[in-house]
Amino acid sequence: MIVVTGATGLVGNVLLHDLAAEGTTGLRAVVRRGSSTAVLSDIDIEFVEGDVLDSDSLLRAFDGADVVYHLAGTVSIASGGYKQLRKANVDGTRNVLVACRQAEVGRLVYASSVHALVRQPHGTCLTETVAVDPDQVHGAYDRTKAEATRLVLQAAQEGLDAVVVYPSGILGPFDHRPSPTGAAIVACGRGRIGAYVHGGYNFVDVRDVAQGLMAAAAKGRSGEGYLLTGDEISVSDLLQTVARLAGTRPPRLRLPLGFIKAVSPLIPVYYWVSRERPLFTSYSLEVLSSNCRMSHDKATRELGFSPRPVQETLEDAVRWFREQGMI
């Protein structure tokens, strides 16, 4: 039995489709009450109502599980909101670990994030040797992912068979409820981004993350973490590529990062007044200006991880968003 939390999210739905495509049987998705399961309607799967904040529901969901993929959590580019993020990302993960022990789950694969690792200065490269330290990361989201990851690694030291993966920025097709990156692609594809900032990030295709998760379940060493990263791309190149693929005008105005940081306290006010979903925040701008050199050598060596070029991912993502009528 394979159980997935966060099953209807971007990574979860791609993972379950890949597992089904490989002929895996005994798939079980943990879904919250009232959640739509339409994205999984085309595969043979058992749905179990549950929530990572409800320990009893997890114990029922994990009964008989050989592998649990813990993907559920809250991703946020907001600068604050620590208490809410901690509830979903840390308390939820703690409940998953307890349920795994009680249900005698064979293996846990936890989807952490590169944000759980301490950022490295420019000119260096992020690897799995970097510390997981909640006190040295930046932002509420980073801190909660670091805290949750530390819990998983500690559980592994205490005997639980658990593996951690650290994806970088995830993008790609099948983003039904657009993620922050997906929302930026849609906005750019609609010609609604008029300006950009200097910086860039490391992005990985969601389909490669799904394959990396499956490889971690099959080959990963318990108590180890694996970076699932892809290509570095600048903000300018990403938006230019999306605009070209979508046939829209690319943003031409480059805003100085110093200016953006100066007015960043006003950004939440703008999005609140316009009632639009935030595409950029002071936190995300800080991330885009940070060091984005990351190595997936360990995952390649031990898991066979081989991410596709980011240009291919952008082509597929824009095509998929267009097919869905979002662009």
Mean pLDDT within 192-215: 94
In a domain, 102, yes or no: yes
Q: Establish if 287 belongs to a structural domain.
A: no
pLDDT of residue 75: 85
- Asked whether residue 60 is assigned to any structural domain, the reply reads yes
Residue 257: pLDDT band (50, 70, 90) is low
CA dist., res. 195 & res. 189, Å (int): 14
Supply the pLDDT for residue 165: 98
Residue 149 lies in a domain: yes
Residue 196 lies in a domain: no
- What is the per-residue pLDDT for 274? 47
pLDDT category of residue 275 using cuts at 50, 70 and 90: low
What pTM was estimated for this model as a whole? 0.92
Read off the pLDDT band of 303 (50, 70, 90): very high
More confident residue, 260 or 197: 197
Mean of pLDDT values over 169-185: 94
Among 77-81, 101-105, 162-166, 243-247, where is mean pLDDT lowest? Answer: 77-81
Tell whether 250 is covered by a domain: no
Give buried/exposed letters for 242-253 (b at 16+ CB in 10 A, else e).
Answer: bbebbebebbee
Domain of residue 78 covers 2-178+202-231+293-308
Query: pLDDT above 90 covers what percent of the chain?
Result: 80
- pLDDT > 50? residue 272: no
CATH number of 171's domain: 3.40.50.720
Kindly state the average pLDDT of the residues 93-121.
97
Domain count within the chain: 1
Average pLDDT estimate for 127-153: 94
pLDDT reported for residue 277: 58
pLDDT averaged over the chain?
92
Q: pLDDT > 70: what percent of the chain?
A: 92
In a domain, 242, yes or no: no
Assess whether pLDDT exceeds 90 at residue 128.
yes
- Specify whether the CB–CB gap between 16 and 69 falls below 8 A: no
Could you give the angle at the alpha carbon of 17 between the alpha carbons of 14 and 21, nearest 5°? 135
Whether pLDDT at 30 is above 70:
yes
pLDDT at 41: 94
How confident is the model at residue 263, as a pLDDT?
A: 55
For residue 197, being part of any structural domain is answered with no
Q: What is the pLDDT of residue 271?
A: 47
Whether pLDDT at 232 is above 70: yes
